[in-house]
Every structure is written in C-alpha cells, then in structure tokens.
Amino acid sequence: MTDIKPKILILTHCFPSDPSDIPGNFLFDLCEDLVSRGARVSVVTQTMSRKPDPEFIKRSGAEMIYFRWRGGGERFSNLKLSSIKNLMNVLSLLYNGRKTFKNQIRSSEYDLVISCWLVPAGIWSFSLLKNEHHAVWALGSDVSVYSKKFFHKQLLKLILSKNGTVFTNSINHQKVIKNVLNSRSELLYTGRQLPPPKTIYKKSEKLMLLFIGRLEKVKGPDILFSALKMSGIKDFELKIIGDGPMMTELSASSKSDGLEEKIFFLGERDSAVISDELTSADYLVISSRSESMPVVFWEAMQTSTPVLSTDVGDIGYYCEKYNVGRVCHADEKSLSELLLFADEFRPMRDSMASNTSKVRDLSSIRKSAEIIYKKAGNFKKERLK
C-alpha cells in the first residue's frame, strides 16, 4: 500500500519537542511509523516556550504546523479556569488551534484527520455535520474527568457524535464512552517503543523504585513521598524522571524529611535513559490519582519491570490478568502498605517480571499505526475512484 500515500492530519496540544519531553511522546513514534509506511503526515500543535530540537522533530517525518498562543510553556492540564489569565490562555488555545485547522483544511485535502485528545483538539476540528474522514482519540482526562461534569459531558457527546471513528487507549474508557457518552470506540494503544537497554537487572539489598511522569497533582508524586515515609522502609532508593510544577515542593519535602540521600531527581530524560533506569529498578511506581492507561506501564513491560500502582485506569485489569504488578487504593496509607509488602516479600518481583512478556506486544505503537494507515488508505482509495 505504500504507493497509495494517504494524507493524514494529526491535531494535538501535546507533541514532544525533544527526546526528553514526556507528554504525547508516543505521537513521535506514531508519525515515524506512518511515514515509513508511505503516509504523508502533518501535525498541528501550539508553540511552546520549551526550545524544540529540530533534528529530533525532523526524524518523525511529519510536517509540523505550529500556531502561537498566550500560554507559553503551560500544559493544558494545568490551566485551571478559576483565574482570568488561565481562561484567556485556554480561549487562545481553542481559537488559534481551530483557526489553524480550518486554514489547513482549506489549503489541502486530507484522507484522515485525527484529533488526539477530545479537548482541545476535538474542538479545533468540530463540525456540525458528521465527517467519516475525521477520527478522535479519547485519552487521559478527556473521559475520566470531563464525563463526570454535566456541561463537559454534553460537549464530549457532541464531539464524539460528529467523528466517523472514535479511538481510546483504555478499556475503562471504552465502557464510559459506551454507557455514559453513547458512542462506540475502538481500542488503540499508545505505547511507544523503547530502545534496548544497555544495562541488566541486578538484585540489591535496597528496594529500588522508579517514578516516571510529569510532577503534577494528578500523577500523585506527593502520595508516593508520603507513602514511603509512612511505610517505615529504611533501605530504599527512589529515582524520579520528569519535571513539572511540583518539583520545588517535592525537592523541599525530601530534604525536610531527611530523604535527600534516598530520593534522586533525574529531571527529564530520553527514551534510552528511561529504558536503562526501568531495567535497573525493582518496580516502577505509578501513584496517580487519575489515569486512563499510562504509557509508562507499557514501557515497564518492555523492560520486564513489574509495577506497583494505585488502582487507576486499566492497570488493575492487566496486573490481575497477567500478574505483572500489584495495585492499591489511591491514597498514601494503601500505597505505603503495598510498598512495605513488596519490600518484605522480594521473591514476588521475579515471578511478576517473568510474566511481562505476555503483555509487552499488546501495546505496540506499530499496531496502532497500522490501523490508522489502513483506515486512511481506504479513504484515499474511495476518493480516487
């Protein structure tokens, strides 16, 4: 099908600027794979104050279409509408994103348009008439948060009804989309491909833990800090990969609790470092207050690293079905008990690590790219008839 060369337009407020940029990092691999199959891919996204890496972005193979907005380096998830400044930033993102999308549609004909995240990208591409060539990928707080609020729920239902295809990356979200939002959806995973690790796992007397993610409230790093303190575990090491608005608070907390020699902030790191750190860890800890299906879970499966997690999204389902981790309630007491159990029952790590091979192929971004490519290719064939 490489001679078909379908044209695909991706709309997103999260596209990585460099190899260490975490939000939306799976989209880089998605674009790269689609282009390798013969697709012509364009991406509409906002400029960020974070300096982009031109060589990295070029490797994606996508045509990047940036638009300006008021928010600078702010992440959409952190823009609370309680302040006038944030409200203006959100309106700027919605207005300029929609304007840029309309300009692209007028200037070029695309076989498939994919809005990654229902909000804001689903609003950028919204049309009063249903368009079979439009797809929306419901991810993260799209469903888990907005579907619980009356006005937001009506907006989501309207957006979903106008798209020919609805994707999601979560089994739980599939249920909500069907039962609450009255739409059908296809499961499309978001796990990017990590490079092979350069290190090997070695057992240690310490409990070696790793946290990967944005340091923001929804990801629960503060829950993890409190749980470690409450657990009473003496011999542990926690490495944290990521950055965000809670960095200063967490750093101060580690010092005031006397844990600065046990908790290490590595900042943002590229996929090669993540692969090595996952391989070296006893467990990846996911302490989120809310999730759909975090990419880091699938990354841990690639490096045979079991997971200790709060019971959010689909994590409990996969941990129970394949025995690749343990989950608990999303509070510090429950997580402290789970960490203590993992520390006291070390053989559990080996048995769960051996099961990760059953899971790692489920989330391949290549499979997701194949599905998208075939759909776009079929639309192109119809158009050329």
Which CATH number does the domain housing residue 303 bear?
A: 3.40.50.2000
Other beta carbons less than 10 A from residue 217's beta carbon: 17
Domain membership of residue 339 (yes or no) is: yes
Let me know if residue 198 belongs to a domain. Answer: no
Structural contact between residues 11 and 139, judged by C-beta atoms closer than 8 angstroms? no
User: What is the distance between the terminal CA atoms of the chain, rounded to a whole angstrom?
Assistant: 16
Say yes or no to pLDDT of 1 above 50: no
Number of residues that this document lists for the chain: 385
What percentage of the chain has pLDDT greater than the value 70? 99
Which pTM value belongs to this model?
A: 0.86
Q: In whole angstroms, give the CA distance from residue 52 to residue 64.
A: 12
**118 in the same domain as 57:** yes
For residues 180 and 211, membership in a common domain is answered with no
Looking at the structure, do residues 379 and 260 belong to the same domain, yes or no?
A: no
Sequence-ordered list of residues with C-beta below 8 angstroms from that of 300, at least 6 positions apart, any chain? 278, 284, 306, 307, 356
185 pLDDT more than 50 = yes
Our CA angle for 245, 247, 250, nearest 5°, is 125
- Nearest CA among 230, 208, 110 for reference residue 164: 110
Shared-domain flag, residues 341 and 378: no
CB 135 within 8 A of CB 114: yes
In the numeric block, the tokens 């099961």 are attached to 355
What confidence score (pLDDT) does residue 298 get?
Answer: 93
- Indicate whether 340 and 369 sit together in one domain: no
**How confident is the model over 228-253, as a mean pLDDT?**
95
Do 159 and 60 belong together in one domain?
yes
Is the pLDDT at 177 greater than 80? The verdict is yes
Residue 281 belongs to some domain of the structure:
yes
Tokens of 305: 């690293």
Identify the pLDDT of residue 198. Answer: 95
pLDDT tens readout for residues 5-52 = 999 999 999 999 999 998 899 999 999 999 999 999 999 999 999 889
Same domain, 118 and 79: yes
- Domain count within the chain: 2
The secondary element (H helix, E strand) that includes residue 135 is strand 131-138
If asked whether residues 102 and 216 sit together in one domain, one would say: no
User: Could you identify the residue written with the tokens 């490797």?
Assistant: 59
Are residues 130 and 229 located together in one domain of the fold?
no
**218 and 296 co-located in one domain:** yes
Provide the residue range defining the domain that includes 60. 7-192+364-384
Amino acid at 129: L
Residues 224 and 326 in one domain: yes
> Is residue 1 in a domain?
no
More confident residue, 241 or 79: 241
167 and 215 share a domain? no
- Does a structural domain hold residue 197? no
> Is residue 334's pLDDT more than 50?
yes
Distance CA 385, CA 343 (A): 63
